[in-house]
Amino acid sequence: PPPKDEMEFQAETRQLLDIVTHSLYTDKEVFLRELVSNASDALEKLRHIQATGTLSGATTSTSAENDDVPLEIRITTDEASNTLTITDTGIGMTKSEMISNLGTIARSGSKAFVEGMKIKKALDDASDLDPFGQGIIGKFGVGFYSGFMVADQVDVRSMSAGKVADDDATISTDDHHHHHRAFVWESTGTGKYSISPLSPDIRQDRGTSVVLHLKPEMAHFSCESTVESILKKYSNFVGFPIFLNGNRVNTMDAIWLQDPKSVEEEKHSEFYKYVSHMHDEPLSTIHFRVDAPLDIKALFYIPSFHQEKYGMGRMESGVSLYSRKILIEAKCLDILPEWCRFIKGVVDSEDLPLSISREKPQDSALVGKMRKALTRKIISHLTTMMKKDNDKYKTEFYKEYALFLKEGVCQDFDSQQPLSKLLLFETSKGMSGELVSLDEYVSRCPPEQKNIYYLFAPSRELALQSPYMEGFAKHKREVIFIYSGIDEFVMANLKTFEGRNLLSCDRSELELPKSEENDAQKEDKKGDDDDVPTSKTSLSKLEATEFCNWFQTTLKSKVAKCTTTDRLSSSPAVITDNESGALRNLMRLLESQEG
Ligand code: ADP
Ligand code: MG
C-alpha cells in the first residue's frame, strides 16, 4: 500500500472545523461558491504564469506535459455514491502546499470568522444585540473548510503544475514520475487528515479535484438541478468555463468591462456577492471608466456593513487588480488608500504590466497615479450621494463608515480637504443626533466670524453646560460638539477648512463681539467708575487685577497667565489654551488600540 502520512490540524483549524460542522450555519449552499472560487483562483494563478512565464517566489516552473489541458472547472454529481466533485485544471498543489494550505488557517477571512463566532456565541443569549438580523456569521465565507458543512469526508486530489518539490519526491520510491506528483489529502473534518501519493488507478491531470462525500442529510447536493441553481446564483461571473456533468453553466460576463449604463442592478447584486464573498446587498455601486491619462475600468461596491465590528480585526483590501481580464493581484494593497479598505471590487487597466513589481519604480509610480484617480472618483461619488441622497448618506453610509473617513482625514494627506467635506457633526444649534457638514456650519456663520469652533465634551448635556460655551451661547454662535478622542484628533490634524481655522472653544482668543457692543449689562455700567463694582457679584477692576496677581503667584509655573474675561456669564473662571488636551486624547487613543 502507498505510504500514508497522518497529520493533525493546527489548533485554530480544529476550532474552525468544529464551528463549521456543528454550528447553525444556515447558508450551507455557500460551500459550493467557496470551492468554485478556489478552483477559479487556482486557474487564475496558472493563467498568470502562462502569460508571464514566471511565478512569483519562483521555486516552481510549469512543466510542458499538461499545457494542452484547457483552463476550466468541471463539476460532477453522483447521486448513487452521494458525492459531488469539483475539479479544476489550475495550478494544483504539491504535498507540502497541501499541508500548509489545507492544514492551517492562513486566511484572514477564516480567522475573522473564528473570532466572530466566539463573539456570536457570547451574543447568543442576547440575540437582539445582533444588528444584522440573520446573524453576521451567515454573511461570511469560510473558504475551503465550508466543504465540511455538507460532507463527512473530503478528498483533495492534486497535481501541481510546477516541478516536484524535493520533499514530495522523496515520499515514493516509485519510478513513475507522474505518480510522485499527484497526491491525495483526506479528512473527515475531525482532528486529523492524511496525505498519500495518489493511486495510479485514478487519473489526475494538472490541477485539483475536491471530492465531497456528502452527509446523508445533505444528499440533495448530489442532485444536478440543485447544484446547477446554486452555481447560477453564486458563480455566474467566474472567468473560466464551468461544466456541470459536461454541460456549460456560467455566462462569464466581465461586467466591469461593460458600459456602466448597460449593467442591470441584479447583475451588480450577483457580481457583488461573487467578489465580496458576502451575502448582503451593496449599499452603493461605483462603476466607471477613464481613458486618459490612464486606461481604467473600475467597479466598486460599498457593502451594507463593514467587517471591523466586534473586534473582528482589520479588513484586508477588497479590490483585485486585472489587466484585460487577467488577474494581476487579488486583494491589492496599494491600489486604494488604506481608509478605502471597506470597498470591494475590481480594477482593470490595459496600462498595467502583468508582472507588476513594487520594486520597479515605474510600476509603483503607475499604481500611485491610478490610486489618485480612483480615490478622487470614490470621494466624488460620496460627495454626490451626500448632496443628492442626503438621507441615505447620513443614515446608511455615514453611520457605518464615518470612522474610515476620519482615518482618511488623518492619514491620507492628498484627500484630506475633500474628505473633510464629507464629515458630519452635531452642533450646539441642532438637536441631539442631528448632523451637519462643515460647509453647512460655515454657511450659517455670521459674516464677521472667520473661524470654526468646536468643543470636546463627554456628552451633549455636558457640552451645553460647559463654561466654554457661555460666550458662544450669549452671542448665539454655533459650536461643533465632538464627543470622542478620534474627532479631536481629526480636528487637530485638519487644522483648517476652506481657509478657516478649526479652533477649540477652550482657547483664550475667541472672535466674539466685545461685551460693551451688545451687552445688556452695558446699561448697568453707565456712569460707573472703573473702581466701582459693575454688579453685586462683580469685582472692581483693581480688585480683579489683585486677584489675578494672587492667583498667578499661588499657581506659579502651572499657569502662563491669569486674566479677566468677558466670555463667561455664570461660571467664575475657565482654563484656556490647554493645548495638551488633544495630545492627551491621542495618547489615550493609542493606548486603547494597543490594548
Ligand atoms: P483562500 O481561498 O481565501 O486562500 P481557502 O480556505 O478557500 O482560503 O483556501 C485555502 C488555500 O488552499 C488557498 O489559498 C489555496 O492555496 C489552497 N487551495 C484551495 N483550493 C485549491 C485548489 N482548487 N487548487 C489549488 N489550491 C487550492
Ligand atoms: Mg477560497
Q: For ligand 1, atom 4, name the residue with the nearest CA.
A: 107
User: Poorest-confidence range of 409-423, 504-518, 563-577?
Assistant: 504-518
Share of the chain above pLDDT 90, in %: 47
| pLDDT on residue 547 | 86
| pLDDT on residue 427 | 97
284 — phi, psi (to 5°)? Answer: -155, 150
Ligand nearest to the backbone CA of 101: 1
Residue in the block written with cell 475551503:
144
pLDDT beyond 50 at 42? yes
| pLDDT on residue 101 | 87
Residue in the block written with cell 479590490:
319
* Longest CA span, the chain: 115
Minimum-distance ligand 1 atom for the alpha carbon of 143? 7
Query: Is 34 known to sit in a ligand binding site?
Result: yes
- Return the top range by mean pLDDT from 191-200, 319-328, 336-345, 481-490: 336-345
Query: Is 390 known to sit in a ligand binding site?
Result: no
Instruction: Out of 87, 101, 111, give the residue to mutate to test ligand 1, the one with the largest number of ligand atoms within 8 Å of its CB.
Output: 101
The answer to whether 213 and 82 are in contact (CB under 8 A) is yes
Q: Cα Rg for the chain, rounded, in angstroms?
A: 32
Q: For ligand 1, atom 17, name the residue with the nearest CA.
A: 101
Split at pLDDT 50, 70, 90, the class of 222 is: very high
pLDDT beyond 70 at 509? yes
| pLDDT on residue 286 | 98
Ligand 2 center from residue 86 Cα (angstroms): 13
Segment 267-279 shows an average pLDDT of 89
Q: Higher-confidence residue: 30 or 367? A: 367
CB under 8 Å to 14, separation ≥6 — which residues? 191
Minimum-distance ligand 1 atom for the alpha carbon of 207? 24
DSSP letter at 538? P
The amino acid at residue 369 is: K
Instruction: List b or e across 201-233, with b for residues whose CB sees 16 or more CB atoms inside 10 angstroms.
Output: eeebbbbbbbbbbbbeebeebbebebbbebbee
| pLDDT on residue 592 | 67
| pLDDT on residue 538 | 67
pLDDT digits (tens, 9 = 90+) for 177-188: 444 689 999 999
The three grid cell numbers given for residue 485, joined into one nine-digit string:
478622542
Minimum-distance ligand 1 atom for the alpha carbon of 210? 23
| pLDDT on residue 163 | 60
User: In terms of DSSP bridges, do strands 344-348 and 296-302 run parallel, antiparallel, or are they unpaired?
Assistant: antiparallel
Q: For ligand 1, atom 9, name the residue with the nearest CA.
A: 144
pLDDT digits (tens, 9 = 90+) for 226-263: 999 999 877 878 889 999 999 999 876 789 999 999 99
| pLDDT on residue 127 | 42
Q: Is 209 helix (H, G, I), strand (E, B) or coil?
A: strand
Ligand 1 center from residue 92 Cα (angstroms): 10
Q: Is 564 helix (H, G, I), strand (E, B) or coil?
A: coil
The pTM assigned to this predicted structure is 0.71
pLDDT digits (tens, 9 = 90+) for 295-311: 999 999 999 999 887 66
How far is 525 from 533, CA to CA, in rounded Å?
Answer: 9
Minimum-distance ligand 1 atom for the alpha carbon of 109? 3
Ligand 1 center from residue 145 Cα (angstroms): 10
> Mean pLDDT in the chain?
83
Minimum-distance ligand 1 atom for the alpha carbon of 97? 16
The amino acid at residue 394 is: K
Query: Is 108 known to sit in a ligand binding site?
Result: yes
pLDDT digits (tens, 9 = 90+) for 65-120: 567 889 999 999 999 999 999 999 999 999 999 998 887 765 545 555 566 656 55
- Return the top range by mean pLDDT from 46-50, 187-191, 394-398, 455-459: 394-398
Query: Is 380 known to sit in a ligand binding site?
Result: no
Burial of 80 from C-beta contacts in 10 A (0-12 / 13-18 / 19+): exposed
Ligand nearest to the backbone CA of 110: 1
Q: How far is CA 88 from the centre of its chain?
A: 30
Split at pLDDT 50, 70, 90, the class of 587 is: low
| pLDDT on residue 110 | 56
Instruction: Out of 41, 45, 66, give the residue to mutate to test ligand 1, the one with the largest number of ligand atoms within 8 Å of its CB.
Output: 41
Segment 479-483 shows an average pLDDT of 96
| pLDDT on residue 126 | 42
pLDDT beyond 60 at 495? yes
| pLDDT on residue 66 | 63
| pLDDT on residue 26 | 64
Q: Higher-confidence residue: 574 or 317? A: 317
| pLDDT on residue 281 | 94
DSSP letter at 397? I
Nearest-5° Cα angle at 305, 303 to 307:
105
Ligand 2 center from residue 93 Cα (angstroms): 14
| pLDDT on residue 450 | 92
Query: Is 358 known to sit in a ligand binding site?
Result: yes
Point out which residues pair with 195 in neighbouring strands.
Answer: 5, 185
| pLDDT on residue 569 | 81
Question: What are the DSSP calls for 459-527, one per residue?
Answer: SHHHHHH-GGGHHHHHTT---EEE-SHHHHHHHHHH-EETTEEEEETT-S------HHHH-THHHHHTT
Question: What are the DSSP calls for 17-76, one per residue?
Answer: HHHHHHS----TTHHHHHHHHHHHHHHHHHHHHHHHS--TT-S----GGGTTS---EEEE
- Peptide bond just before 293 cis, omega within 30 deg: yes
pLDDT digits (tens, 9 = 90+) for 537-547: 567 888 888 88
Q: For ligand 1, atom 8, name the residue with the nearest CA.
A: 143
Split at pLDDT 50, 70, 90, the class of 173 is: very low
Ligand nearest to the backbone CA of 17: 1
pLDDT digits (tens, 9 = 90+) for 435-473: 999 999 999 999 999 999 999 999 999 999 999 999 999
Ligand 1 center from residue 419 Cα (angstroms): 37
pLDDT beyond 70 at 62? no
Question: What are the DSSP calls for 239-284, one per residue?
Answer: SS-EEETTEE------GGGS-GGG--HHHHHHHHHHHH---S--SE
Q: For ligand 1, atom 19, name the residue with the nearest CA.
A: 38
| pLDDT on residue 533 | 46
* Residue 195 parent element (H or E): strand 192-197
* Residue 320 parent element (H or E): strand 318-323
| pLDDT on residue 11 | 81
Query: Is 18 known to sit in a ligand binding site?
Result: no
DSSP letter at 572? S
Share of the chain above pLDDT 70, in %: 79
pLDDT beyond 70 at 595? no
| pLDDT on residue 103 | 78
What residues have a C-beta under 5 A from ligand 2, the ion?
Answer: 38, 143
How far is 439 from 418, CA to CA, in rounded Å?
Answer: 11
pLDDT beyond 60 at 43? yes
Residues touching ligand 1 (Cβ under 6 Å) are: 34, 38-39, 41-42, 88, 90-93, 101-102, 107, 109-110, 143-144, 208
Ligand 2 center from residue 538 Cα (angstroms): 74
- Residues written for the chain: 595
pLDDT digits (tens, 9 = 90+) for 116-140: 656 555 555 444 333 333 344 444 5
